[in-house]
A and B are shown apart, each in its own frame.
Chain A
Amino acid sequence: MTPTEIAVIIFLGGGLFFTLVAAVGVIRLPDIYSRAHTASQADTLGAGLTLVAVALTLGLEISTLKTVLLLVFIFITNPTAAHAVARAAHEQDIEPWREDR
């Protein structure tokens, strides 16, 4: 196995792990704010690591540039969308979850 392949597998494993964490978080966490938290952070990192793996597989060509563009775009828009969703929830007076209730 070449070093590139090893790097691809490592990044892909990381991406899968963090996306799995995001999926578990979206299913298991108690309220919308904590779910927005895991969706914006764990999912963005998972998608980013996987896209890095894809870019490494492609090597140096024009597709790699598009993948990097996609990565930058997801890194900017995903937390922004989660912020918009959380703020919409706040405007609708949805109470945050607390342990004592």
Chain B
Amino acid sequence: MVNDILLGAAAVFVVLVIVVLYRAVRGPTMQDRVLAVNVIGTNTVVILALLSAALDVPYFLDIALVYALLNFLMAVAISKFTVERGGVM
């Protein structure tokens, strides 16, 4: 039964990702889009962890770790890119 609840939670998270996508498309500034994609990435990691527990596939967690790294790198890289000079950290 817990597995069904986890799967349901994963489905709700995907719906929330679709909702946040509105901000990524609409903008209006570039930073809004980066922020929305960062939230989407975090939710992706959580969805993967939920699926890993619900479907009992332990190696999904390794993929989730890679996603978490990639998501952080992407947000910092695009923020850095939108600033002409100077740091963002």
Check A-B contact in the complex, CB < 8 A.
Answer: yes
Q: Which residues of B contact A (CB under 8 A)?
A: 1-2, 5-6, 9, 12-13, 16, 19-20, 22-23, 29, 31-32, 34-36, 38-39, 42-43, 45-46, 49-50, 52-53, 58, 61-62, 64-65, 68-69, 71-72, 75-76, 79-80, 82-83, 86, 88-89
B31 touches A88 (CB 8 A): yes
Size of the A side of the interface (Cβ < 8 Å), in residues, is 49
- B49 CB contact (under 8 Å) in A9, A26, A54: A54
A66 touches B61 (CB 8 A): yes
B23 touches A27 (CB 8 A): yes
Residues of B within 8 A of A83 (CB): 89
Interface SS of B by simple majority:
helix
- Quote the shortest CB–CB distance from A33 to chain B (angstroms): 9
Residues of B within 8 A of A35 (CB): 23, 32, 35
Interface SS of A by simple majority:
helix
A69 touches B9 (CB 8 A): no
How far is it, in angstroms, between the C-alpha of A22 and the C-alpha of B39 when the chains are bound?
A: 9
A91 touches B86 (CB 8 A): yes
Which of chain A's residues 1-29 have a Cβ closer than 8 Å to chain B? 5, 8-9, 12, 15-16, 19-20, 22-23, 26-27
How far is it, in angstroms, between the C-alpha of A36 and the C-alpha of B32 when the chains are bound?
A: 8
- B20 CB contact (under 8 Å) in A23, A67, A77, A92: A23
B35 touches A91 (CB 8 A): no
